[in-house]
Structure 1
Amino acid sequence: MAIGKLYIGRKVRELRDAARATQAQFADRLGISTSYLNQIENNQRPVSAAVLLALAEKFGISLAELSSGEGDRLLSALSEALSDPLFDGYHASLADLKLVTQNAPGLAHALITAHQAYRRSSEQLASMDDRLGRAALTEATPYDEVRDYFHFVDNYLHDLDVAAETLAGELGLGGGENHAALQHHLGTRFGIVVERAVLADDLIRSFNPATRRLLLNAYATPATRDFQMALQIAQLHATDMIERMVREAGFRTAEAADICRIGLQNYFAGALLLPYENFLKRARALRHDLDLLAAHFGASLEQVCHRLSTLQRPGQKGVPIFFARVDRAGNITKRHSAAKLQFARFGAACPLWNVHQAFEMPGRIIRQLAETPDGVRYLCLATQITKGSGGFRAVQPRYALALGCEISDAGSFVYADDLDLDNRAAFEPIGISCRICERHTCPQRAMPPLKSRLAVDHDNRSIIPYRIV
């Protein structure tokens, strides 16, 4: 496939800064003139195929990494925002969108933030009592702030990941038998006694800083108890690093900062139990067999799926995947995509997506070949999990996990072996959400797409009571 014109000046400049090289030194390593490099960094000229290959060879960066990543996610988010009827009359071309996201990403982020505030205000004002303060409706929720923070760092935090991997090597973690090593480290390094106990109020863990006792729910699974010990280590071992990252994120509220701390602690815990290089190597060897990965590392399916979504280390990237956790009402409670598939920021997921079927077939990994309206095809996997612990009367929330990749990477997954990947008829049409899906004949449509005119035929009726024109 021919490579189109790529204006990646910002990425090239970041690579040069990381190498601590002057423009002259960097240009010499690439075999180009300093003036050409200066033009590339200022997006005045696209990179040539020769320069792309030199970047890949000299710095261990894949071509896909140079031409995708945050730019794709930002481009998707900006395109979705501009599809709102609010911008009716303005139709941005793909070239215009790329120009903004590549040369002025801060402006793109600002526009997306403004649109999010507008959407929240519109949706909430339509359903809430006028007595509620209007000012609160235009602010992003702390949860939204943190979700966007992880989204735009590609769900990979290098310093935190490397620190966890280093500690995992010192403790001998990553082989599936982690409990004793975690408990020993908590005791010898931090003076913490770990005990199993029946905890009230459905608690998973309870730590008393005064007595240095960590109580773990006796009815929780071994994978959950290990994760909670790793989380306790994250709170004590990586405090300074996490606090620095929270400060640098510049959250607007203390609540967002607190939620981000939880996310960063969870990230460290996952990276500690599933150390990067070991996990990436095993994932490739087992061809991403989720059950075998969970068994090898003594982890849960959710921990494995979530970790797969973080394998974005420069020069050591895993397969670009999408990952989501969906509840029975269709709410997406976790989301990340390193693939082209981007989850809708508003509204529910497409009902034709196989993630919804997982609730009907507990204990099974369901496969689906799917195609989005832009023509991109995917291998989609889904399975149901049950959270919580306790007996018959205990509340046990159920979720569906969704994981997948673009069809060009499907060969890396054992689940694709007997599927007809070359038969386009085998791919089911799915969308991102009804709000932005342009499929005119979808029988599952819940609402018309934005910026579309409708025609109603009072004499003829199909499943959907209107036509999209």
Structure 2
Amino acid sequence: MATQKLYAGAKLRDVRTRLGLTQKDFAAKLSVSLPYLNQMENNNRPVSTTVVLALAQEFGFDVTELGQGDAERLVSDMREALADPVFGEAAPQLADLRLTASNAPAFARAFLALHRAYKQTHERLASLDEALGREDAQLRPSPWEEVRDFFHYCDNYIDAVDRAAERYAQLSATEPDIRTAAIARLSRQGVSVKFNQTTPMRSYDHDRKELILSAYAPVETQTFQLLVQVALLGQNQLLDATLDLARFQSDEARSIAKLGLANYFAGAAMMPYKDFLDAAQETRHDLELLSARFGSSVEQVAHRLSTLQRPGAKGVPFFFVRVDQAGTITKRHSATRLQFARFGGACPLWNVHRAFENPGQFLRQLAETPDGVRYISLACDVSKTGGHFGAPMRRYAIALGCDVRHAAALVYADDMDFTRASAFEPIGISCRICERTHCHQRSVPPLEKRLSIDPSLRSVLPYRLD
């Protein structure tokens, strides 16, 4: 089998920039000529084995990062943006998108930002006149989308916050459990904690220094919210420093991101990185065993598994997604090549949708995306009660999965047949960018295919794809 060549020019330039070296000095340390380095940085030549070894030996660089990065998700995001009918037939070919993502990632992000601005303007036509009439009017992404993209392109791993949460968990080890430790920590800060039959899960009174948690909430949710408050009060300086580096465009986005970072801290404190990674490997990623061991919900465990991307100590690269009953994605992250639609719902052929029909069960699926990559996907429903009679029930489904190359590390892969091609169900990302010509669940035609209409013939779809 031929070895796949590694083109990582943008990542190589990023390494050199972070080290503060000129091309000449960097080439000397890598023992290559200046023209050769220049060609590698511009993706005219692949990164050689000699350079890979030099990066590891000279700089202690985690060379697995060379084959990763933002390229795949940038390609996926650009393809979805270009599926917008506004581009018509002017959309570039997939090969051009891959070149752009590899050679000019900053340009790709600028294009995506521009398309988001257009999309939001288009969706707000009713108030466009008023917006354009203001002197300070600007086209900005919505705060929610800006924060979502921040975590998306950080690989959902925030190193400083993750390590701070791990240190906090270590310092709390003298207490019976992390919940007791959190209450004690807040008490030392003069904060009283009460559990009332109240609707909000968490309510904090700054003047009275009183934290009220819902007695209706499950224990793991109460613990999580306790740790969120610990982060907001005790880690405020760290959170603000992280937010300063992110440079959000609005106060709303910064506020949403701050709560997101506090939530990240809470999850990382409940499931500290090294202990959780070791336990995940030991249990072969059994969600129920991990849930019991760390006093967390299955959803919290699945989400945490998708964040284990610490350089030098990475876990299995998972994708994680949560959808509501309408198929809308409410949480998403992927450390794999699989990316999720930014607009609209998920592929209906994906087993996450079937989880609603099978409450209380873990559904397994072998799936293949149009790019030929095969995955194992685990899905289950998540019901969230309001805690009392008459309270509305919130129902979601979550999915966790990874490339089949890592299947041996998952207990859920036992007894599954990976040898038959027919065992892998075809799934896509979005109908507009899915190239499959035969799909009984297709909702709209793909952008890059020509339609053939025959009034005398009616199959599952009212057209054929050429």
Question: TM-score normalised to the size of structure 1?
Answer: 0.90
Indicate how the Cα distance of structure 1 residues 140 and 130 shifts in structure 2: closer, same or farther if over 3 A, else same.
closer
Q: Is the CA contact (8 Å cut-off) linking 1:177 and 1:298 kept in structure 2?
A: no
Corresponding position: 1:371 with 2:368: yes
- What is the Cα deviation at residue 63 of structure 1? 5.1
- Residue 333 of structure 1 pairs with residue 330 of structure 2: yes
Which residue in 2 is equivalent to 1:435? 432
Question: What number of residue pairs does the alignment pair up?
Answer: 463
Counterparts in 2 of 1:227 and 1:58: CA distance versus 1, 3 Å: farther
Are the equivalent residues in 1 in contact too, given 2:202–2:213 (CA < 8 A)? yes
- Alignment-derived partner of residue 160 in structure 2: 159
- Of residues 381-390 and 59-68 in structure 1, the stretch that sits farther from structure 2 once superposed is 59-68
Query: Which residue pairs with 2:11 in the alignment?
Result: 11
Indicate conservation of the 8 Å contact 1:234/1:269, yes or no: yes
Q: 1:60 to 1:167 in 2, by over 3 A?
A: same
SS in 2 for 1:257: helix
- AA at the equivalent of 1:82: L
CA RMSD between the two structures: 2.8
- Contact 1:347–1:435 (Cα < 8 Å) also in 2: no
The offset of 1:18, in angstroms, is 5.4
Cα gap change, 1:90/1:131 in structure 2, threshold over 3 Å: closer, same or farther? closer
The equivalent of 1:269 in structure 2 is: 266
Is the counterpart of residue 148 in structure 1 residue 145 in structure 2? no
What amino acid does structure 2 have at the position aligned with 1:111? F
395-404 vs 68-77, greater mean Cα deviation: 68-77
Distance 1:58 1:283, change over 3 A: farther
Change (3 A) 1:429 1:38: closer
Q: CA deviation at 1:184?
A: 1.2
Closer/same/farther in 2, CA of residues 42 and 130 from structure 1, 3 Å limit:
closer
Partner of residue 408 from structure 2, selected from 411, 436, 439? 411
Mapped partners of 1:197, 1:359: distance in 2:
32
**Do 1:176 and 1:296's aligned partners in 2 also have CA atoms closer than 8 Å?**
no
1:208-267 Cα shifts (integer Å, max 9, x gaps): 122222111111111001101100111012211211222322222221111111111111
Kindly report which structure 2 residues correspond to 1:55-454, keeping only aligned pairs within 5 A, or say none. 55-56=55-56, 64-90=64-90, 92-122=92-122, 139-172=140-173, 177-188=177-188, 190-199=189-198, 202-454=199-451
Provide the secondary structure at the position in 1 that maps to 2:399: strand
Task: Give the C-alpha shift of residue 432 in structure 1.
Answer: 0.6
Q: Give, in whole Å, the separation in 2 of the partners of 1:176 and 1:74.
A: 45
**2:191–2:210 CA contact under 8 A, matched in 1:** yes
* CA distance in 2: counterparts of 1:75 and 1:236, whole angstroms: 39
2:49 aligned with 1:52, yes or no? no
Distance in 2 of aligned mates of 1:10 and 1:463: 45
Distance, in Å, in 2 between the alignment partners of 1:20 and 1:132 is 47
1:134 offset after TM fit, Å?
Answer: 7.0
More moved, 92-101 vs 128-137: 128-137
State how far apart, in whole Å, the 1-side matches of 2:13 and 2:127 are: 50
TM-aligned CA distance change 1:50 to 1:131, over 3 Å: closer
Checking the alignment, whether the CA contact within 8 Å between 1:176 and 1:298 is kept in structure 2 is: no
* Paired amino acid for 2:316: V
Instruction: Give the secondary structure class of the aligned counterpart of 1:403.
Output: strand
DSSP-derived class of the 1:354 partner:
coil
> How far did 1:114 drift?
1.4
Shift of 1:400: 0.4
1:351, 1:42 → 2: CA distance? Answer: 40
Say if 1:107 and 1:390 are closer, same or farther in 2 by CA, change over 3 A: same
Quick one: distance in 1 between partners of 2:445 and 2:11? 38
Report the CA distance between 1:32 and its aligned residue. 4.2
C-alpha distance in 2 between matches for 1:283 and 1:297: 11
Alpha-carbon spacing, 1:312–1:390, altered in 2? closer, same or farther (3 Å): same
Q: TM-score, normalised by structure 2?
A: 0.91
Tell me by how many angstroms 1:31 deviates.
Answer: 4.8
User: Does the C-alpha gap of structure 1 residues 41 and 464 become closer, same or farther in structure 2, counting only changes over 3 Å?
Assistant: closer
Deviations 1:370-424 (A, max 9, x none): 1111111110111111224312211120110111001111111110011001211
Unaligned runs of 5+ in 1: none
Partners of 1:121 and 1:137 within 8 A in 2: no
Displacement of 1:439 in angstroms is 1.6
Matched letter for residue 100 of structure 2: V
Q: Give the distance between the partners of 1:197 and 1:274, measured in 2 at CA.
A: 26
Report the CA distance between 1:22 and its aligned residue: 7.4
Cα distance in 2 for partners of 1:107, 1:183 equals: 47
- Cα distance in 2 for partners of 1:148, 1:26 equals 32
Aligned partners of 1:19 and 1:419: how far apart in 2?
A: 46
SS in 2 for 1:96: helix
1:95 Cα offset (Å)? 4.8
8 Å CA contact retained: 1:60, 1:315 = no
Partners of 2:232 and 2:319 lie apart in 1 by: 28
Secondary structure of the equivalent of 1:207?
strand
Amino acid at match of 1:193: S
Question: For structure 2, which runs of at least 5 residues remain unmatched after alignment?
Answer: none
**Percent identity of paired positions between Structure 1 and Structure 2:** 50
3-state SS of paired residue (1:231): helix
Query: Conserved in 2, the CA contact under 8 Å of 1:124 and 1:137?
Result: no
Letter matched to residue 322 of structure 2: R
Contact persistence 1:164–1:271 (CA under 8 A): yes
8 Å CA contact 1:168, 1:273 repeated in 2: yes
